[in-house]
Amino acid sequence: MSPPLHIPASKLCESCRATRALISRPKTNQKLCKTCFLSTFEAEVHATIVSTTLFTRGSRVAIGASGGKDSTVLASVLKTLNERYDYGVEFVLLSIDEGIKGYRDDSLETVKRNAVQYGMELVIVSYEELYGWSMDSVVESIGKKGNCTYCGVFRRQALDRGAERLGINHVVTGHNADDIAETVLMNLLRGDLPRLHRCTSIITSSTSSPIARSKPLKYAYEKEIVLYALHKKLDYFSTECIYSPEAFRGSARTLIKALEKVRPSAILDIVRSGEAFSRMIPSQAQASSAKLSQESGMSNCTRCGYLTSQELCKACTLLDCLNKNRPKMAVEVEAGIEDEEASSSLRRGMEAMKLAEEGIVN
Amino acid sequence: MAEQNGNQNGDGPTPPPICKRCNTNPSVINLRSEHMCGTCFDKYTRSKCIKRTETYRVRYNPPDTDTTPRRLLLPLSFGISSITLLHLLNAQLQTQLERTSRTGFVLLVMYVDESAIDPSVPTGDTSIRAVQARFPDVGEYMVAKLEGIYEFSHAVKSFEMGAAATPQQHTDWEGRLKELIAALPTPSSRMDVLQILRTRLMVELARKHACEAVLWGDTTTRLAEKTLAETAKGRGFSIPWQTADGESPFGVKFLYPLRDLLKKEVAVYVSLDLPTPLRPLCFAVPQEGEGEEGEGGRKKYAAVGKGITIDELMTQYFEGIEGQYPSIVANVVRTAGKLVTEGGVVRIGRCKICGLPRDGGGGELVLDAETKLGESSNREANGNGHGEKKEGSDMCYGCARSVHGAKTYEWPL
């Protein structure tokens, strides 16, 4: 190592005190050098995994990989930690091809490269093969409005079917602290107690799916994920879905970003509040709809065999609509559908009501 | 008034619609899609408040029970909400007197003089006399100085720990308060801590003056703001204690009689002729222009970017929501109302800052209750350095976040 060349103490990495600080951590404003930032980020994900005993030795776990920054960082960090701490877990990449030209086809190329870079098996499940409809053809049929409902329902089932195909019962996703904080606020805004109860859980398994989902990045800031990807020179795809432009610029998201600017710890603080809420919801309100369906008994969809509380599962119901070439049926998302996906309709509904951006954001 | 109306449905230049309730007078407000005239809106507003203060009807009890009117403390900020609340309670008292020649309660109206920390804020003496002249029969009126909180150190310690502590000697409370506020790191922290001090002062004054409850002026909108703001400050665990009607952990009841009214409705209400509008009594609110209803005598947020506080951000956010999605505002409050505090009031110990039962938060940024941040991030992340871990351990997580990075300070309680 080269001798420190008169780096003023104020410019030194606050962790190792040996090299010049290059990064101001978005979470804490701590000034760190690149190496210390990367290792701190990894240490926090590791701490999350260990404290929740997320993985068991010898298991196979699928990483829901879209080629975007979150899932790419997740795959990279999990590979690093698996080797460093010897988790003894076999990670597999699982991608969904929604069939969106100019978006998903490009991002899937990224995932294919990631599979080679990380030495992980990759399985791609497409809407086309599962449902006979690509999102391109769905949008052609029903228009852009409301297409996210179809995509959300289809994706959930596709992930489950992909995992099933791999003989895997645990899928990790790249949801980060910003996503979770946003979901906590959204669930408060719409008064959804069952979702408020479970949206901060690191791992969720529900009666409507045999596959457990978990979020190892639940305490990782979006900004730090971007920094990690940047400094690790990770190969990721950064275009937003062409059918939901600004899907992530709903009012709750804007609020989170404004709060982060005022107090960087706010995102983590909201997650913490969300974890407290989860323990503060009376048991009868924790699972209203899910419990109802449990009482009436989950059964298999008479058409495709997927678990459902109805005769037909949500995907088959939507497919019926599509196949009859009817305009979009008003569908409220069923209990158990993943929070982030389900919250998108309200999120979009509230988009109109953005914060006076010039007033709050800068 | 008219602008509240016109904006709602884009009525344009057409004459105002007729009140849906009486079918005679012109509407002054479109109340959640029902047009109402001034008289009917007044009735509506009164009924909302009466419903929430039913406990304080005139008591007709057997002779062996106490039927003296209960003493209630009403913090007055000269904002639109607390003035409205005072007016509504005055009306309630008048009705009780007319019907029974007795009253079920008597008020202690209290203004907190914060001129120690903001010299531009009036001391309140003239304002409170004006209000007293308008509502002379509700009870007593008082002005308390915020720095008076130092008087209560002894009382607080004995309430919370049952321990005897030496009473504070009277030494420059104003200077100490200024030092405390100046030691706090950010505008958000200062606003947060000031709010805590106001609340705790009211609690202590309520105890001192034998009031059994504090009647807060918070509207639905304000309660929703508070719910989201406290969530953002990491105080989710204590939201029921800060928003629910009933026994508070301080041994004094908290009531929010305006919890069923939106802020924008109250803003219309203060301009109604009742027969005289309340608006001129709202000294904390700029009298011209609409929508300037800063709560608690605070200045309206003019600051942008980093100067804005978490509380102001939420106020701004709900101003937008209230206009277009009033049901969401009510949703938030209803949801908060369904949360139950863990383990009730008695547990682990009290937070030395906010005085509420602690959540075992500690002073560090933690991932969750057990897992700390990565090793290296703990060491120097905070300005206060090494003593922090111990210092934070007698606080709740939210307060620890708020005073994180503060210079040395002395806590009054």
CA-wise closest residue to A256 among A177, A182, A347, A342: A182
| Shared-domain flag, residues A208 and A304 | no
Q: DSSP characters for A136-163? A: HHHHHHH-STTHHHHHHHHHHHHHHHHH
Q: DSSP characters for B105-126? A: EEEEEEEEE-TTT-TTS--SHH
End-to-end CA distance of chain A: 41
Determine the pLDDT at residue B188: 95
Would you mind telling me the total number of residues written for chain B in this entry?
Answer: 413
Instruction: Tell me the residue type at B373.
Output: L
Residue A188 lies in a domain: yes
Percent of chain B with pLDDT over 90: 58
Contact criterion met (CB below 8 Å) for B193 and B402: yes
Phi and psi dihedrals of A94, rounded to 5? -125, 120
Instruction: Tell me the residue type at B366.
Output: V
CA-wise closest residue to B238 among B360, B93, B363, B368: B360
Query: Best residue in A272, A343, A348, A361 to probe B by mutation, most B CBs within 10 Å?
Result: A272
| Shortest alpha-carbon distance between residue A309 and chain B (Å) | 26
Protein fold of B50-58+67-162+171-284+308-345:
Rossmann fold (3.40.50)
| Shared-domain flag, residues A312 and A192 | no
| Shared-domain flag, residues A290 and A275 | no
| Shared-domain flag, residues A234 and A302 | no
Domain count, chain A: 2
End-to-end CA distance of chain B: 44
Query: Best residue in B226, B316, B327, B335 to probe A by mutation, most A CBs within 10 Å?
Result: B335
Q: What are A27's two structure tokens?
A: 């979470």
| Shared-domain flag, residues A89 and A139 | yes
| Shared-domain flag, residues A42 and A189 | yes
Phi and psi dihedrals of B73, rounded to 5? -95, 130
Query: Best residue in B376, B380, B382, B388 to probe A by mutation, most A CBs within 10 Å?
Result: B376
Q: What are B368's two structure tokens?
A: 């969750």
Chain B residues in contact with A32 (beta carbon < 8 A): 376
Determine the pLDDT at residue B312: 95
Contact assignment for B186 to A273 by CB distance below 8 Å: no
When CB atoms are compared, the residue of B227, B371, B401 closest to A48 is B371
| Shared-domain flag, residues A166 and A270 | yes
When CB atoms are compared, the residue of B233, B342, B369 closest to A269 is B233
**pLDDT tens sequence across B153-210:** 877 666 665 555 555 565 789 999 999 999 999 999 999 999 999 999 999 999 999 9
Instruction: Tell me the residue type at B70.
Output: R
How many Cβ contacts (< 8 angstroms) between chains A and B?
Answer: 178
**pLDDT tens sequence across B346-389:** 556 888 899 998 876 544 455 444 444 433 333 333 333 333 34
The three-class DSSP label of residue A16 is coil
Where do the domains of chain B lie?
50-58+67-162+171-284+308-345
CA distance linking residue B365 with residue B375, whole number of Å: 11
| Shared-domain flag, residues A307 and A212 | no
* Of A195-199, A236-240, B66-70, B327-331, the least confident: B66-70
Burial bucket for residue A155 (CB in 10 Å: 0-12, 13-18, 19+): buried
Query: Best residue in A10, A33, A188 to probe B by mutation, most B CBs within 10 Å?
Result: A188
Contact assignment for B309 to A262 by CB distance below 8 Å: yes
Nearest chain B residue to A221, by CA: B367
Q: What are A229's two structure tokens?
A: 């990807």
- Establish whether A88 is an annotated binding residue: no
Residue A5 lies in a domain: no
CATH number at residue A108: 3.40.50.620
| A 127-166: CB under 8 A from B | none
| Shortest alpha-carbon distance between residue B363 and chain A (Å) | 12
- Give the β-pairing of B34-36 and B213-215: unpaired
CA distance linking residue A314 with residue A319, whole number of Å: 9
Chain-centre distance for alpha carbon A8: 41
CA distance linking residue A362 with residue A353, whole number of Å: 18
Contact assignment for A28 to B308 by CB distance below 8 Å: no
Instruction: Tell me the residue type at B78.
Output: F
Chain A residues in contact with B186 (beta carbon < 8 A): 262-263
- Establish whether A64 is an annotated binding residue: yes
| A 228-257: CB under 8 A from B | 251, 255
Determine the pLDDT at residue A97: 95
**pLDDT tens sequence across B227-257:** 999 999 999 999 999 999 999 999 999 999 9
pTM score: 0.87
Q: What are A151's two structure tokens?
A: 């995509």
Contacts of B145 (CB under 8 A, 6+ apart): B112, B113, B116, B173, B174
Contact assignment for B398 to A269 by CB distance below 8 Å: yes
Contact assignment for A280 to B365 by CB distance below 8 Å: no
| Shortest alpha-carbon distance between residue A36 and chain B (Å) | 8
Query: Best residue in B241, B317, B366, B378 to probe A by mutation, most A CBs within 10 Å?
Result: B317
| Shared-domain flag, residues A156 and A267 | yes
Contact assignment for A265 to B365 by CB distance below 8 Å: yes
Q: What are B311's two structure tokens?
A: 């509380």
CA distance linking residue B358 with residue B392, whole number of Å: 11
Contacts of B10 (CB under 8 A, 6+ apart): none
| Shared-domain flag, residues A183 and A303 | no
CA distance linking residue B84 with residue A145, whole number of Å: 44
Percent of chain A with pLDDT over 70: 83
Contact criterion met (CB below 8 Å) for B341 and B238: yes
Which residues, listed in sequence order, are joined to residue B366 by a DSSP beta bridge?
B372
CA distance linking residue A147 with residue B251, whole number of Å: 53
Q: Which domain holds residue A313?
A: 285-323
Which residues, listed in sequence order, are joined to residue B72 by a DSSP beta bridge?
B107, B213
Contact criterion met (CB below 8 Å) for A39 and A143: no
Residues of chain A with pLDDT under 70: 1-5, 206-208, 245-250, 288-297, 326-362
Determine the pLDDT at residue A179: 94
Please identify, among A259, A281, A303, the residue that sits at the C-terminal boundary of a domain.
Answer: A281
The three-class DSSP label of residue A214 is strand
Residue A311 lies in a domain: yes
CA distance linking residue A51 with residue A35, whole number of Å: 24
Instruction: Tell me the residue type at A138.
Output: V
Contacts of A70 (CB under 8 A, 6+ apart): A174, A175, A176, A217, A222, A225
Largest CA distance in chain B: 72
Determine the pLDDT at residue B380: 35
| Shortest alpha-carbon distance between residue B238 and chain A (Å) | 9
Contact assignment for A32 to B342 by CB distance below 8 Å: no
Determine the pLDDT at residue B168: 55
Contact assignment for B374 to A279 by CB distance below 8 Å: no
**pLDDT tens sequence across B13-63:** 677 799 999 999 999 999 888 999 999 999 999 999 999 998 888 877 666
Q: What are B375's two structure tokens?
A: 């090793």
Contact assignment for A273 to B341 by CB distance below 8 Å: no
The secondary structure of residue B344, as a DSSP letter, is: -
Burial bucket for residue B171 (CB in 10 Å: 0-12, 13-18, 19+): exposed
Chain A residues in contact with B398 (beta carbon < 8 A): 269
Determine the pLDDT at residue A296: 57
Contact assignment for B236 to A274 by CB distance below 8 Å: yes
- Establish whether A62 is an annotated binding residue: no
| Shared-domain flag, residues A222 and A318 | no
Contact criterion met (CB below 8 Å) for A211 and A61: no
Kindly state the helix (H) or strand (E) to which residue B131 belongs, with its residue range.
helix B125-134
Determine the pLDDT at residue B296: 41
- Establish whether A70 is an annotated binding residue: yes
Determine the pLDDT at residue B395: 85
CA distance linking residue A21 with residue B4, whole number of Å: 53
Could you count the other beta carbons within 10 Å of the beta carbon of residue B353? 22
Determine the pLDDT at residue B359: 79
Per-residue pLDDT, averaged over B203-220, amounts to 96
- Establish whether A179 is an annotated binding residue: yes
| Shared-domain flag, residues A249 and A166 | yes
